[in-house]
Structure 1
Amino acid sequence: MAQFNMEDHPHRRLNVLTGEWVLVSPHRAKRPWQGQVEKISEEKRPEYDPTCYLCPGNERIGGHLNPKYTEPYVFVNDFSALLNDTPEGGVQSEDGLFQSKSESGICKVICFSPRHDLTIPEMEVSEIKKVVDLWAQEYKSIGENDFVNYVQIFENKGSVMGCSNPHPHGQIWSSSSVPNEPAKEQIKMLDYYNKFGRSILADYVAAELEKKERVLFENEHFVGLVPYWAVWPFEAMIVSKRHVTNLLELTEEEKEAFAAAYKELTVMYDNLFEVSFPYSAGIHQAPTDGEEHPEWHLHMHFYPPLLRSATVKKFMVGYEMLGNPQRDITAETSAQRLRDLSKVHYKYR
């Protein structure tokens, strides 16, 4: 009988933040690829696009006019998924089979830069720091509303991730309930904190820094890594070394380090296949429900879909929709591939 080896044999890995499992099938990565192949279309964008509804001074689809902003700019989404004046109401059948509840919230768009042709990996750290500053301001101001209990900051990059406008931007959706993903994390974080009196992510990061297998980089205040339980081929996290629960607890130096980590990881992504790398990314932090949440630990998730090249994507289908998520290459292999890349963006070599 052969000895079990995680680089060769199928196995499951536990996501300690959610309690969910991922199936890892590393032997499948060795099979030849005979699937879909697409051509890359490298788009060269101007610094300013008169037809872009996010560029400074332009009219948005809803008829509002953008100011001629020179730094990160935020506004209420013209087509918000949540509204702040939704009346209370819902449905609760006696048998519990039919339940619904009204949901209030505020949705905003944040333009990272006035320049239409930039993305985060192409911006200076000082410019990204201003984005982090604005995130913190919005987390505070939106979270002060009595009906807002969670503020979700996120970025969808690339048309494959449903991004409808290439101008560098992200979104902020706030809601009266805590969404599913951070709610699952809160349960696990609280259980661990009640048991050990420490942050689960603080202990996890310390263990990862000792092993070095999945760590992509670190600076004085943040660590970038491929999580042990990663589902997407090149999934990653940025985690604060110090146990902070939200953006408001970061010092100015830590905010700059966060910005530097954001840039470093996204440069890695772009360099992997020498393409503007698509992903969905978002910050998980403490709810804004007025309660103390010492169990929470600030971190940012990155979920990119690319698998084998700039044109071959990972899809969640079949077993993954009906059973549980599955991946072919191990987290350790992904981390090594990212670590081996140049630190200089491919466009500027």
Structure 2
Amino acid sequence: MTAFDFKEHPHTRFNQLTGEWILVSPHRTKRPWQGKVESLPADNRPAYDPKCYLCPGNTRADGSVNPDYTDSFVFTNDYSALLQDTPEGGLDVEGLLQAKSEKGICRVISFSPDHSLTLPQLPVEGIEKVIELWTREFIDLSSNKDIRYIQIFENKGEIMGCSNPHPHGQIWAQASLPLEISKETARQAAYFQEKGKSLLSDYAELECKLGERVVVENEHFVAVVPFWAVWPFETMIISKRHVPALPEFTVEERKAMASILKKLTAKYDNLFEVSFPYSAGMHQAPVNDGPHPGWHWHMHFYPPLLRSATVKKFMVGYEMLANPQRDVTAEWAAERLRALPEERTF
């Protein structure tokens, strides 16, 4: 009788952070691929674009003029998804139609005045300045007692819905806890209550010991392809010290965070020799919401590319109607990424 091998046979994996399951079908990678594989044209953006609303000195859609900034730059989004002055209100029709008002603040962060430089192309010192700005914004936004959660994220690339190629990210701060944060809060709280340690402290320690899903590591952080990854080359950066949010990191840890961000994103670019698209964002403790001793800072990277610069993974069929599924294993993806150079090579 054939023995079960989770690298060969269909199986489900449990996501410790959300309490959800994913179907993994590694045998499907053996089927012949008849889709199109091609390269993208080179990304030859100029250092300055007079039509870009994020470049220094340019006018934005609302008529504001950007300063001649030399590092990173932040402003309130001209077309915010959340508004600070939203009036209180709601809807409840027989318990079936429910809605409630939501206050919030949306900000945009330009990573650099240089229109052509993405994170893996910035010097480590430049990424450190982005992290410093993220931290200042977190502290400032958390001082607003209406805010309970602050989501820092980046959409990179047109296929991820990025409307401007100038390297930038966003911060959405809102009055309630988003769905994914609610799930992660509950799971981490339960683990901490039972074990007296953070879930991600134990998980990161185990991944570092096993090594097979580790992509890059330094003294303070480790980047892994999570055991429960959904996207083909999904990764997660975890702080080795149990830290709930950005303001708690030391200067040395922020330097290490900048270093691992540069190395991981460089590996992504090197994978298919393209400026690699993704949605990435850090998850950290809620604010103005009482103590959350189990919360452990981490950062998710969700890239859509599967086989080449243009072959994408879509959530379709079974994944939309039942639950997430993937063919390539987390171990295979980690091996591919781990083997790539830590500096951008093209």
Q: Tell whether the structures are fold-level matches, with TM greater than 0.5.
A: yes
Residue 243 of structure 1 and its aligned partner are, at CA, apart by: 0.2
Q: What residue is the counterpart of 1:22 in the other structure?
A: 22
Superposed CA offset, 1:198-217 (max 9, x none): 10000000111111110111
**2:267 corresponds to 1:268:** yes
Q: What is the one-letter code of the residue matched to 2:51?
A: T
**2:98 corresponds to 1:102:** no
Answer yes or no: is the 8 Å Cα contact 2:263–2:343 preserved in 1.
no
Contiguous gaps of at least 5 residues in structure 1: none
Q: What residue is the counterpart of 2:163 in the other structure?
A: 164
Task: Describe the SS at the equivalent of 1:9.
Answer: coil
Q: What residue is the counterpart of 1:78 in the other structure?
A: 78
Q: What is the one-letter code of the residue matched to 2:31?
A: R
Task: Describe the SS at the equivalent of 1:346.
Answer: coil
Q: What residue is the counterpart of 1:259 in the other structure?
A: 258
Answer yes or no: is the 8 Å Cα contact 2:37–2:308 preserved in 1.
no
Q: What is the one-letter code of the residue matched to 1:68?
A: D
Alignment of 1:1-349 (within 5 A): 1-94=1-94, 96-347=95-346
TM-score, length of structure 1 as denominator length: 0.98
Residue 92 of structure 1 and its aligned partner are, at CA, apart by: 2.2
Query: Could you tell which deviates more after superposition, 314-323 or 25-34?
Result: 25-34
In 2, Cα distance between equivalents of 1:137 and 1:151: 12
Residue 89 of structure 1 and its aligned partner are, at CA, apart by: 0.6
Residue 142 of structure 1 and its aligned partner are, at CA, apart by: 0.6
Superposed CA offset, 1:220-248 (max 9, x none): 10001100000000000001000000000
Q: What is the one-letter code of the residue matched to 1:289?
A: N
Answer yes or no: is the 8 Å Cα contact 2:48–2:55 preserved in 1.
yes
In 2, Cα distance between equivalents of 1:15 and 1:157: 25
Superposed CA offset, 1:284-333 (max 9, x none): 00001241211100000000000011111000000000010010100000
In 1, Cα distance between equivalents of 2:184 and 2:320: 21
In 1, Cα distance between equivalents of 2:177 and 2:308: 36
Task: Describe the SS at the equivalent of 2:223.
Answer: strand
Residue 99 of structure 1 and its aligned partner are, at CA, apart by: 1.1
In 1, Cα distance between equivalents of 2:150 and 2:214: 28
In 2, Cα distance between equivalents of 1:254 and 1:183: 27
In 1, Cα distance between equivalents of 2:149 and 2:311: 35
Residue 344 of structure 1 and its aligned partner are, at CA, apart by: 2.4
Superposed CA offset, 1:263-289 (max 9, x none): 111001000011000000000000012
In 1, Cα distance between equivalents of 2:342 and 2:142: 36
Answer yes or no: is the 8 Å Cα contact 2:243–2:249 preserved in 1.
yes
Answer yes or no: is the 8 Å Cα contact 2:43–2:275 preserved in 1.
no
In 1, Cα distance between equivalents of 2:276 and 2:31: 24
